[in-house]
A = this chain, B = another copy of it.
Amino acid sequence: MKKYQLMAPGPTPVPSEALLAMARPMLHHRTPEYEALFVEVRAGLKRLVQTAQEVIPLACSGTGAMEAAVVNTLSAGDTVAVVCAGKFGERWIEIARAYGIEVVALTAPFGETVPAARVAETLRTRPEVTAVLTQHSESSTGVLHDVRGYASATRDSAAILIVDAVSSLGIADLPMDAWGVDVVVAGSQKGLMLPPGLAFCALGDRAWRRVEASRLPKYYFDLAAERRTVLRNEAHFTPAVSIVVGLREVLRMLEAEGLGNVLRRHDRLARATRAGVEALGLRLFARATPSPALTAVHAPAGVDSEAIVAAFSADHNITIAGGQGEMKGQVFRLGHMGYAAEFDVIVALAALEQVLAGLGQPVDFGAGVRAAQKVFADRG
């Protein structure tokens, strides 16, 4: 028996509380039962996003919500600056260009970040830039970008800040209102520990004013229309009912743990993972602030990272992820977000030790686990 373990950077495991709630008989979305559910979920999402704004749910994946953020706040011919140091940064560029938006690409090598000073400088020298688009956690590289710094640059400019928080909501601190982030985009399958298929957009007042001026066509992703129905506590189109049912459960779990504790848990899991990986002589891919959601790791010299991913699956029934795009073969990624706890990290590192040895690498058995244990033992 090999117990199946999902340790990829999303979708993440779903707690049985949510799985069983979603396995109950289907609710209809135009009933008092769904209304009561939606009231609770709306309030919980606001607390999680740390905003007084409505957090608008959309039946789509995170990419759909990224597109919603663009088509609602921008117009063809606008110019945006995109923080691009990974595959999801490239996705912002692709979405913007698909809609006829000019892109000033603030690129950095994958694994690095773009300093806030460079964003501020861009806003000074390129006054035509009306929005800055970034990831918070870049899932392809395991880097956490300086959203707080970007927000302090955009807040005093005419540009709005649009943040893809798909792999940071409920994982890394992102107080939307306090930092002055204009748009937060998130998804269900990362920190929220749910199946994919539900995503979210929260817009601040400056962003809502942009919505009034936006001339890009939209219908399914029309956030102004969505907000009108959300404020009536109704669904505009048929919602992803079962995932919303699961959302109530996970929001209750997160509230019971407390957001501060949730964020500290992710930080601890990430530090332990990094310590374990480095103790095994491996090199982290992130050369900037690492994300608390996942750890991207260089494969040892001469080893194809896809072979590591395959061995995790074939030998240990554990799903991790390889590198995306140009990082394929170079990098493997360990997720430690959402429904993830200390002993999951221990399992991942123990499996990594076995996998490396199986691939003929020299391994000091227990060294990775020991380093993680020391992080966990330090409760200071």
Query: Footprint of B on A, CB under 8 Å?
Result: 4, 6, 8, 10-14, 19-20, 22-32, 59-64, 67, 76, 94-95, 98-100, 187, 189, 195-198, 216-222, 237-243, 313, 319, 321
Contact = CB atoms under 8 A, between A and B. Distances in A.
* Majority SS at the chain A contact face: loop
Contact of A28 (B11, B98, B237, B239): B11
Given A31-B319, A319-B28, A64 B196 contact: no
A217 B25 contact: no
B10 A95 contact: no
Nearest to A219: B98
Contacts of A100: 217
A216 B63 CA distance: 18
B6 A98 contact: no
Number of copies: 2
A95 B219 contact: yes
Given A31-B319, A60-B60, A219-B99, A196 B238 contact: yes
Nearest to A99: B217
Contact of A25 (B14, B28, B63): B14
29 contacts: A4-B25, A6-B25, A8-B30, A11-B26, A11-B29, A11-B238, A11-B241, A12-B26, A13-B25, A13-B26, A19-B22, A19-B23, A19-B24, A22-B22, A22-B195, A28-B321, A29-B196, A61-B220, A61-B238, A62-B238, A63-B220, A63-B237, A64-B220, A98-B217, A195-B241, A195-B242, A196-B241, A197-B239, A242-B242
